[in-house]
Each structure stands twice: as structure tokens, then as C-alpha cells.
Structure 1
Amino acid sequence: MDMKEVPITRTGMYNLFFIACDPKLKGLVMSGKTVWKNPEGYLPGRMAPLMKFYVFMSLAYLLLSVIWSVQCMRFWNDVLQLQHCITAVIGLGLFEMILWYFDFANFNNTGMRPVVITTWVVTVGAIGKTVSRLLILSVSMGYGVVRPTLGGLTSKVLLLGVTYFLASELLDITEYVGTINDISGRARLFLVLPDAFIDAFLILWIFTSLSKTLDQLQAKRISVKLDIYRKFSNALAVTVIASVAWITYEVYFKATDPFNERWQSAWIITAFWDILSFVLLCVICYLWAPSSSSQRYAYSEEAGEEFDEEEAQSLTRGQSDGDVSLTKLEKHVGGAGISDHEDETEDKRE
């Protein structure tokens, strides 16, 4: 067949069929390729909006990293181990968004997706998602705040992290690496299920750990840390509700669109998770921002005797009347002790 160019003047979903009606051609094997190009490049219509989206997300992560870095530099001596972990998550998020943009830009310009480059991008993304989830789990367990380490739970947390990383890596490699044609909605739904089950288990573990941490802080009456963890739990609850609602919509969207007929809005499915992760990361950065009082949030060996600064001031401030009465009480007790001793001595002499 000679090369033929077919101009397309109307936006829509197009299919190309090769039909042979001659019985003599039964069993014929054809080889060749088709090249599809949109006005702005080779990116499929469902993926094209994501390239611009990753530009905005890169700028958002860059702004967050600048603000966070400035705070860390200002209060470097008070930075906690937990805050170093947050720095790593911000850095991975920024790196991931930049890599996704360059991968999409290369695809858009050349029409090809080199396996090595896309695999690297997908791997960085899977690492970022895994580390961010383990950070949330560690915070929920009270790492660096209620306990200095995760202790015996470290191996279980790492095992869960490795499992989630493999599931996420498999899903993204299947969907992106070496893939130019659109994957059917039902095939993507099958690949999403293992990832979704592990996410559900993570959420259950996070809230169980968070409940225990809140109980510990309430029992010890550490009101500063308790207030932070309550805000964190509220933000996490909102995130989970939004996630469950979106997963329900995503399952419905992919199950009812096996041929990608709603391709123009398909990019929102991917974009939502990046936006949600970024918002939750901003909340964590706000709650655990480096400051001159960061050490108040850190784990202390004397946590059982800990109390916040306001309580300390209320105990030590003391009004003059209270101090006088306390002094009188001490003198009265001391005097009573002396008089009793003297009475006993007189009895013996008698």
C-alpha cells in the first residue's frame, strides 16, 4: 500500500479499519504502522492536557520547596528528623513532576516513548508515592513525637512499603512504559485493583495508629501535640472521604467507558490524585513547619511529665495571694511537726 495522509478537520474519536472482502486473502498477515498527530503534537487527546498540568504542578512544588527551605534555614538548629523526611517527600514530588513533564514533552515532539526514560519516570513516581504514604503512616504512629523510633513495627512498615511500591510500579509500567495506544478502560480497572486494596489497608492502619497516638497524648495531657494531631486527623479524614468518593467515580468512569469515548475528560482521573497528594503535603508542612518552638513537638524521654508552655506559665506565673497562702501552709505544716515533737519530748520527761 502506498503512504496516504488523511486530514482530520473535526475533533473526536477515530478508528482505522482494514477490510479485505476477497476470499483469496483469507489468513493474510499485514505489517506496517499508522502515525497519528494532533495539531499540537503526537500526544493522544486524553494525555495532552496533562503536559500543561505537570507544568503547573512543578511550579506549585517549587514554590512549596522554596518556602519550606527558607523555614528550615531560619531554624536549622531546631529542625527535627521528621521535618527532614518531609523535605525528602517535597523533593521527590518536585522531581517527579518535572520528569513527567519532560517525558510527555518528548512524546509530544517525537511520537515515541523511550522505554528507559519512561521506566525511570515511573519508578521515581512510585518511590514518591510510597515514601509519602509511609511518612503519613509514621506520623500517625507518633514517630519523632510520641516515640523516638518505630521499634518492632519498622520491618512491617518497610514490608508494606515494598509491596505498595511493586504494585504501583507494575500499574504505571503497564500503563505508560512503551505504550502509545490507549489502554481500554476495563484493562486499566483490572490493574488498579491491587493498588487500591493496598491503599485501603494502608488507610485502615493509618487511622488505627492515629487513634492510639491521640489516646496516648490525651492520657499524658500534652495539649500542644494533641492539638496538632487532631488537626492532622481531621485533614486526613477529609482526604480519605475525598479519595473514596473519587475511587467510586473512577471505577464507574472506567467500567462504563471501555472504548475511551470520554477521552477529553480522562486526564482529570490522573490529575486528581496528584492534586490531593499535594494538598495533604501542604497541610503536613503547615502543621510541622520548622520554627523556634519545634522542639516542643519532639519526642522527650520525660514525655509522661510533659506539659505545654501555656500550662507551665499558668503554674509558675502564680498570683501573689496564692504564693502567700502556699507559704503560710508550709509554715503551718512545719510548725505542727515541731510542736508535736516537743509534746512527745515533754511526755517522756514527765
Structure 2
Amino acid sequence: TKTPDRASENVTDVLDPENLKKILASDPRPLAVLDKDGIYMLIVSISSEDEKNFTVQVDMSLKGTYGYLSAVDWPFLPFYGVMCGVYVLYAIGWLLVSALQWRDLLRIQFWIGGVISLGMLEKAVYYAEYQSINYTGYSVQGAVLFAEVLSCLKRSLARLLVIIVSLGFGIVKPRLGAMLHRVIIVGGAYFIMASVEGCLRTLKPKNNPDHLQTFLGVGLALVDSGICWWIFSSLSQTTRTLRLRRNVVKLSLYRHFTNTLIFAVLASIVFMVWVTFDHRTVECLTDWKELWFDEGYWQLLFSVVLLVIMFLWRPTNNNQRYAFTPLLDAADDEFDEDFQQPANDAFEGMKMRGGKPGSLPSKDKQDNNSAEDDLKWVEETIPSSLSDTALPSLMDSDEEIMTVRFERNKME
């Protein structure tokens, strides 16, 4: 540390704006020069010669070779710059493929576009804030709070996106029904809690214990755990439904999506264990330059998961194969009813042998008698071997029935 003789000058002369300008103009050298990044303590001692009470305003400026950002926060500047560029590429790529297939876009794909837009705006605001601090040395509190609220909104929307995808909205079922209110309540609760916790974390000094912030952090962890359980239980039900319907295309899509979420959960658990033992439980933190990674890791993990979701649900020429089809993706009861309908139509007018005598109206007895005569003639005339041979052609397999219904749906 080098301390010039000017540090012993009269304090009142140094604090005077005019004298300060003259001093900086004549000798721009700082009061102290540090040749190594680190954590330092600056002690300022001011005493009065006549021992009277006085008020002193001290303006302290700490500037490195790269700007006013501290060594702990400086890595965020290039990090958010790179992340902003990544989200710009995400947005451009998603916009191009969506424009090519704009006629067949799914509602899920609009949700993905909204998450990308919020992520791009969030990273741009954070980068602008750190760039402003590095250039001027002052932090605009309103911009920081705005960026934090944007981040909470993006995280909430992302969780809602994963929930509605796991529920099969737009792919297995046409609407969420009563489940929509639960989704909105969970998303709103998470957004409110995350916004309050983020604003408190931004406004209050770091490493300053606060009971409300701790309570909100625990609440967010519980809400995240509940959302995680809801997502995987819904995915289990959705994949089971697709297996019953033998929809191989959608089942493969959901299997890849489930594997991606499992990877994200495992990566989160491993990182939290590492942070706990490496940064939280140590008495002397030596790798303080890596503290920025505690926050940057979650941004990187989210961007990777979002990229996988974009790839799985990208707009293609066969985009509608992932969409909900009213005939193919109806509910189980509707499916059974539609499956039995062709048989009912084919055998309409035949006598039900299990029915009670006299259950039919008297005006239909003559028609039924003629139908019985026709059946009797068929049994006597057509050999049983011929009927056994022709019967399988009339009773289509499940795959053929599904194909026929899909073709009918396209014609309609």
C-alpha cells in the first residue's frame, strides 16, 4: 500500500469541493494504491483541534483498473453480457422457426416464447445495471428492484410452463378445467414470495441476518418442493395415459422431458450440497472470487433446461402430431364410448338375447321377426368357416381403429 504525503492535509480543505477539484486537477494520484484484489478495511479517523462537535461528510471512491465494481461483483458484468447474448440467440431462433410454422403453432409454444422474452429482458436490465455501476460508481435502486421483479416473474412463468406441460395441457387434454385455478394460485404465491424475498435481499446489506428474509427463503423452498412433487406426479399420470392410448410420438416426447427434469433436480441437489460444504460451513472463505457462481449457476442451469424444452417443442412441419386431437386424445370414458359406437351401429336392429321378453314396443315386433328370419337364413346358408374367416376383417385392431379415426379427424 502506498500512501502519499497528501493524506495528511487538512480535512476541511480536502472536503471542500473547490479545493478537491484543484487537488485532483493538479495531482490525480489516489490517496492509496492497492496492487492486489482482496477484502480490505478502511479506517478514517477525524479529530477536532478545539474538541467541539462537528459534522463531516466523507465521499469515498474505490476504483479498479476495470471500473468501480468490486472484485466480488465484477464477474457479473461479463456473465450477464454473455447471458443476454444467449437469450437474444434463443429469441431469434425461436422467432424464425415460429414464423415458418405460424399456422400450426401450439399454445405451449407461445408460453415458451414468453419465457424467452422475459429472460432476455431480465438479462439486459441486469447487464445495464452492472455496466452503470462500473462506469459511474452509483447504483440505481429502482433499476435493481425492476430487474429483481422481472427475474421473479420469469421464474414463476417458467414453473407454470413446466406444470401445464406435465399436466398435458394442449397435448393430452384440451383444457385444464378446475386445475387451472390451482395453477394460478401456486404461480401467484410463488411470485409474491419470491418478489418480497428478492427485494429484501437487494435492499439490505449482504450477510446481514433477517428473520423475515429467512422465513421467506424457507417458504420458497417448501413451495419449490411442492411444485416439484406436483410436476413429477402429473408426469407419471400423463405418461400412463399415453401408454394406454399407445401414442408413441407423444410418449417419447414426455420421456425426454422427464429425463431432462430429473437431470435438473439431480444437478441442483449436487450443487446445493457443494455450496453448503464449501461456502456456508467454512470459517474462513478463501475462494471468495467464486461467490458469483452461487447465483450464476442457477441462471446457467435454467438456460440449459430451457434450451432442451425449446428443442423438444420446436415448431416443425409435423407440429400438429403433438397437438390435442379431439378423437384420438379424448378422455377414457369418451374413448370407450366412441370405440363401442361402430359396433352398436353395425348391429343396430338385431335381437339382444340377454334382453327381457316384451321389452321392445309392439310396433317393432314385425321388424324383429323379419330380422330373425334373415339371421336364420344366414346361419343355414353361409358356412361357419366362411363367417370365421370374414369376421376378423370386420373387427379391426386397435391400431387400425385409431388410424381410421385419425383420418376422419383430418377430413373434418
Q: Mark yes or no: TM-score above 0.5.
A: yes
Aligned partners of 2:173 and 2:329 also within 8 Å: no
- Of structures 1 and 2, the larger Rg is shown by 2
CA drift of 1:254 comes to: 4.4
String of CA shifts for 1:191-217, please: whole Å, max 9, x gaps.
643332222221111111111111111
Aligned partners of 1:126 and 1:169 also within 8 Å: yes
The match for 1:295 is 320
Residue 160 (str. 1) matches residue 186 (str. 2):
yes
Aligned partners of 1:147 and 1:299 also within 8 Å: yes
The match for 2:105 is 79
CA distance in 1, matches of 2:183, 2:314: 25
The match for 2:379 is 340
Identity %, equivalent residues: 27
Residues 1-350 of structure 1: pairs in structure 2 closer than 5 A: 2=11, 5-17=31-43, 32-177=58-203, 183-184=206-207, 190=214, 192-256=217-281, 262-304=287-329, 339-341=378-380
String of CA shifts for 1:145-178, please: whole Å, max 9, x gaps.
111222112121111111211222123222334x
CA drift of 1:60 comes to: 1.1
Stretches of structure 2 that go unaligned for 5 or more consecutive residues are: 1-9, 15-29, 332-374, 383-412
SS in 2 for 1:48: coil
CA drift of 1:34 comes to: 3.4
SS in 2 for 1:295: helix
CA drift of 1:129 comes to: 0.9
CA distance in 2, matches of 1:13, 1:259: 12
Give the counterpart letter for 2:147 in structure 1: V
CA drift of 1:98 comes to: 0.8
Give the counterpart letter for 2:86 in structure 1: A
CA distance in 2, matches of 1:109, 1:193: 36
CA distance in 1, matches of 2:132, 2:329: 57
CA distance in 2, matches of 1:340, 1:227: 48
String of CA shifts for 1:97-151, please: whole Å, max 9, x gaps.
1111001111111222122211111111111111011101111111111112221
Aligned partners of 1:96 and 1:124 also within 8 Å: yes
Stretches of structure 1 that go unaligned for 5 or more consecutive residues are: 307-335, 344-350
> Normalising by structure 1, what TM-score?
0.79
Q: Please say which of residues 163-172 and 264-273 is displaced more in the overlay.
A: 163-172
Aligned partners of 1:184 and 1:260 also within 8 Å: no
CA drift of 1:342 comes to: 5.0
Aligned partners of 2:172 and 2:329 also within 8 Å: no
String of CA shifts for 1:7-58, please: whole Å, max 9, x gaps.
212221112245799xxx9x99986453322221121221111110111111
CA drift of 1:290 comes to: 0.4
CA distance in 2, matches of 1:339, 1:14: 103
Q: How many residues align?
A: 310
Give the counterpart letter for 2:103 in structure 1: N
Aligned partners of 1:185 and 1:254 also within 8 Å: no
Aligned partners of 1:42 and 1:109 also within 8 Å: yes
CA distance in 2, matches of 1:45, 1:193: 30
String of CA shifts for 1:259-304, please: whole Å, max 9, x gaps.
8653200011111111111110111111111012111111122235
Give the counterpart letter for 2:379 in structure 1: D
Give the counterpart letter for 1:165 in structure 2: F
CA distance in 2, matches of 1:203, 1:252: 24
Structure having greater relative contact order (Cα 8 Å, sep ≥ 6): 1
Aligned partners of 2:37 and 2:71 also within 8 Å: no
Aligned in 2, Cα 1:47/1:298: closer, same or farther, shift over 3 Å? same
Aligned partners of 2:38 and 2:71 also within 8 Å: no
Aligned partners of 1:218 and 1:226 also within 8 Å: yes
